[in-house]
Amino acid sequence: MVSGLLDTLPAAQRDLLGPAAPGDELATPPMLAVLSDRRVFGADWLFERKLDGVRALGARHEDRTRLLSRTGRAMQTTYPEIIDALSAQECRDFTVDGEIVAYARGRTDFALLQRRMQITDAARARASGVAVTYYLFDLLRLDGYDLTRLPLRTRKSLLRRAVAFRAPLRFTPHRNEGGQEQLDAACARGWEGLIAKRAGGRYVRRRSPDWLKLKCARGQEFVVGGFTEPAGAGGRIGFGALLVGTYEEGRLRYAGKVGTGFDRATLVGLRGTLDGLAAPHSPFADRVREPRPHWVRPELVAQVAFTEWTRDGMLRHPRFLGLRDDKRPEQVVREEPEPG
C-alpha cells in the first residue's frame, strides 16, 4: 500500500511507482540539461531560473543523511547546515535534487561559493562566513518509492508538500511561459538564464533534450592543461594565463588561454596547485603557440565565461569564474546549442 502523500496520486500515476532501495538512486549520475538556442515553446513546458552553483543530490533514510555532487563526491562536511536541514525534516525517507548557491549583493556568485567548495571540515565550513542556499527542484524517491517515472509537474508538487522549506532550503519556483521575452527579462535581472523542462517528462539518468539550458551568455567548463608566466610590468603575480581545452574523441583539444577574472589570492593559490601538477609534455593534441608554456596534468576543471567561439575553435574574450570539482575532466566537451 502506497503511504503518505503518494496515496493522493491518481491511480494511473500510482501504477508508475516502483520500489527504491535507499541509495540506489545515488549510484548513477543525475539528469542533465542540453544547451539550446530554442526560444519558442508550447504549453507542455515549464521554466526555472538557471542557477550559478553546484549540483547536489540530498538523500535521507531514517538517521542517515547524505549530500553528493553529480560525480558522487560526498559533501556532508562542506555544507553541514544543509545536512542539518535535511536531517530535521519530518519525512525520514526521501531523495531530492537541487543546486547549492551563494549570494553576493542579491545575485548568485560562483566565485564566493568557491570559498566553501574547497572546505572539507564541518567546523571550518560553519565559520567561513559564506552562507549557502540549497534550491530544490526535483524529488526522486519518497517513502521507499521511486518517483522518476512520474511527470515532472507531479514530482514538483510532491516536493513542495514533502519538504519543510526553511533556510537554507528553498523550493525552486517555475513559470508556465518562457521564450525570448522571458529570457531577456531574466538576463536583465542578472540571472544566468533559464532551464526549460518538459512538464510531463520523466527523470532520466543522462543528458536529455527534455531539459534545455537557455543561457544569457556563453560559458562552460574547460580542462586546464597548462599556464604561462606573468608578463609585462604591471606587477602580475602567480601566472599569466591558463591554457585550456575540451575533449573530443578522447583527445584534449586546445581552446585558448584565459587571462582575466583572477584576483590576487586566486593567482597565488592556483599557482601553487598548478606547480603540484607539473608535467613534462603538453596534454593537448594541438600545437600551442605560446612562448615557454608550463604544462600540467589535465586534472583541473575551470568554469569560463566567453563571448563566442572563433572560426578556428578558439575562445573569444574568455574570463575565469572558478574551479569546479563536480565534473570529471574527461567529461568536459565543447557545448554547442541545439537549434530551436
Q: What angle is formed at CA 58 by the lines to CA 53 and CA 59, rounded to 5 degrees?
A: 170
Give the active site residue among 50, 197, 213, 215.
50
Q: Which of 281, 279, 280, 296 is nearest to 243 (CA)?
A: 296
Q: Is 50 a catalytic residue?
A: yes
- 195 contact partners, CB below 8 Å, separation of at least 6: 33, 47, 48, 49, 50, 211, 212, 213, 214
Give the separation between CA 295 and CA 223, rounded to whole angstroms.
12
Cell numbers given for 14: 500510482
Query: Residue 87: left (phi > 0), alpha (psi -120 to 50), or beta?
Result: alpha
Q: Which residues, 6 or more positions from 308, have their beta carbon under 8 angstroms from its beta carbon?
A: 218, 316
Residue that is written with C-alpha cell 566567453 in the block: 306
**Catalytic residue ranges:** 50
